[in-house]
C-alpha cells in the first residue's frame, strides 16, 4: 500500500518511461531496476523508522543492484543481489535524487527543468500550475551542441508570456541539472559546467538553494509540504478529493504527523482511527 501510494503520488512509473535509444541505449534494460529500487527503498524506510519524511527526502543510501551501481557510481553488489549501499552524500539524498524520479520527470532525450520543477510544485507542494495562456509555445527549446539545458531554457525568463509561470517551475528544476535524463550525476554538459543553483518562489519557504540535496532539506521545513503530504494520504485513503467538510479530519492528520516526527505510520494510524474513515461509505 505504501509503495502504491508513493508510486501514484510521485509518478515514477518506470514501465511508462520512454527515452531516446540513441542517447540512452541502456535505459530499456535499466527500467525494471529503477522501479524496484524505489520500491525496496520505501519498504526499508517504513520498516526502519516508520516512513519518516526526513529519511524519505534525504537518506544518503539506497537499495541497489549491479546495473544501478553503474548509474550511481557505487560499488556493485555481487551477482543479482540487492543491497543497501551508502551513496555519495554530495550527489544523492532521498527519493528526489533516485533515478526513477529523475527519469520519470526528465525529457525524452535529456533532463527537463520544466518537468522536474513542475513535479515538485504540483506533487510536493500541492500547488497546481495555471493553464498556459492561449498561443503559448509549448515546445521545448531546441537542443544545441554548444549550450547547456539551463542556457536553452533561460529564454523563458526573457519572454513575458512565459516568465510568470516558468519562473515558478524552471527555477526549481534547475536544482536537478546535475542529473541527466536517466538520473546519472554530471558536472558538465556539452563542455560547460552545470549550474544547479535554483530558487523557490510563491511558497512558504521562498529562498535560493544550491543543488537537489539542499532543496530536499528546505522542503522538509515547509508547512505547505507537510500539509500536502497529509492531504495526499487522505485522498489516497478515501479515493476522493477533500472538501470543506474534511477540514477537521485533515487538521487531526496534520497534528499527528507533525507531533510524531513526520512519520508515515502516525498518519496511517490516525486515518484509520478517524470518524471519517470508520464511517466511510464508498461511492455507489
Over the stretch 179-195, which tens digit does the pLDDT of each residue have?
999 999 999 999 999 99
CA atoms within 13 A on the CB side of 172: 27
- Whether 266 and 162 share a structural domain: no
Decide: helix, strand or coil at residue 129: coil
Are 86 and 94 contacting, i.e. CB atoms less than 8 angstroms apart? no
Cβ-proximal residues to 220 (8 Å cutoff; 6+ apart), any chain? 53, 54, 57, 58, 262
The answer on 235 and 209 residing in a single domain is: no
Among 220, 244, 260, the domain boundary falls at: 220
Predicted pLDDT of residue 229:
97
Q: Are residues 14 and 67 in the same domain?
A: yes
* HSE-up of residue 114 (Cα within 13 Å, Cβ side): 20
Q: Are residues 166 and 181 in the same domain?
A: yes
* pLDDT level of residue 283 (50, 70, 90 thresholds): low
Q: Backbone dihedral region of 236: left (phi > 0), alpha (psi from -120 to 50 degrees) or beta?
A: alpha
48 and 104 part of one domain = yes
The pLDDT value recorded for residue 146 is 76
Rounded distance between C-alpha atoms, residue 52 and residue 37, angstroms: 18
Q: Does residue 137 belong to any structural domain of this protein?
A: no
Tell me if 190 is assigned to some domain: yes
| 151 and 255 in a common domain | no
Residue 104 and residue 241 share a domain: no
Q: Confidence class of residue 233 from pLDDT cuts 50, 70 and 90?
A: very high
Among 176, 194, 220, identify where a domain stops.
220
Q: Are residues 227 and 159 both part of a single domain?
A: no
Percent of the chain with pLDDT over 70: 92
Residue 227 and residue 216 in one domain: no
Same domain, 213 and 247: no
Q: Tell me, what's the pLDDT at 162?
A: 74
- How many degrees, rounded to 5, is the angle at CA 267 between CA 263 and CA 268? 115
| Better-predicted residue by pLDDT, 270 or 139 | 270
How do residues 64-86 score in pLDDT, each as one tens digit?
A: 999 999 999 998 888 789 999 99
Structural domain span for residue 248:
223-278
Half-sphere exposure of 241 (CA within 13 A, CB side): 3
The residue from 205, 220, 235 where one domain ends is: 220
Domain contains 50 = yes
C-alpha distance across the termini of the chain, in Å: 23
Grid cell 511558497 is found at: 203
17 grid coordinates: 518511461
* Radius of gyration over every alpha carbon of the chain, rounded to an integer in angstroms: 19
CA 51 to chain CA centroid, nearest Å: 16
Amino acid at each position: 500500500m505504501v509503495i502504491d501510494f508513493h508510486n501514484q503520488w510521485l509518478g515514477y512509473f518506470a514501465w511508462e518511461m520512454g527515452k531516446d535509444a540513441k542517447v540512452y541505449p541502456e535505459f530499456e534494460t535499466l527500467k525494471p531496476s529503477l522501479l524496484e529500487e524505489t520500491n525496496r527503498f520505501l519498504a526499508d524506510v517504513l520498516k526502519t523508522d516508520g516512513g519518516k519524511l526526513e529519511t524519505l527526502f534525504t537518506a544518503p543510501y539506497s537499495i541497489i543492484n549491479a546495473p544501478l551501481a553503474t548509474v550511481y557510481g557505487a560499488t556493485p553488489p555481487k551477482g543479482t543481489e540487492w543491497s543497501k549501499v551508502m551513496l555519495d552524500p554530495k550527489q544523492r539524498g532521498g527519493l528526489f535524487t533516485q533515478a526513477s524520479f529523475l527519469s520519470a520527470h526528465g525529457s525524452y532525450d535529456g533532463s527537463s527543468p520544466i518537468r522536474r520543477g513542475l513535479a515538485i510544485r504540483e506533487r510536493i507542494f500541492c500547488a497546481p500550475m495555471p493553464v498556459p495562456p492561449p498561443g503559448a509555445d509549448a515546445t521545448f527549446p531546441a537542443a544545441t551542441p554548444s549550450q547547456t539545458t539551463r542556457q536553452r531554457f533561460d529564454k523563458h525568463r526573457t519572454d513575458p508570456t512565459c516568465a510568470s509561470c516558468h519562473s515558478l517551475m524552471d527555477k526549481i528544476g534547475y536544482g536537478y541539472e546535475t542529473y541527466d535524463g536517466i538520473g546519472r550525476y554530471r558536472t558538465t554538459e556539452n563542455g560547460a559546467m552545470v549550474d544547479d543553483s535554483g530558487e523557490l518562489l510563491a511558497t512558504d519557504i521562498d529562498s535560493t538553494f544550491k543543488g537537489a540535496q539542499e532543496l530536499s532539506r528546505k522542503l522538509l521545513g515547509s508547512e505547505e509540504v507537510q500539509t500536502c503530504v497529509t492531504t495526499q494520504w487522505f485522498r489516497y485513503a478515501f479515493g476522493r478529493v477533500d472538501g470543506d467538510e474534511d477540514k477537521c479530519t485533515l487538521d487531526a492528520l496534520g497534528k499527528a504527523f507533525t507531533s510524531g516526527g513526520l512519520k508515515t505510520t502516525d498518519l496511517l494510524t490516525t486515518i484509520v482511527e478517524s470518524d471519517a474513515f470508520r464511517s466511510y461509505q464508498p461511492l455507489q
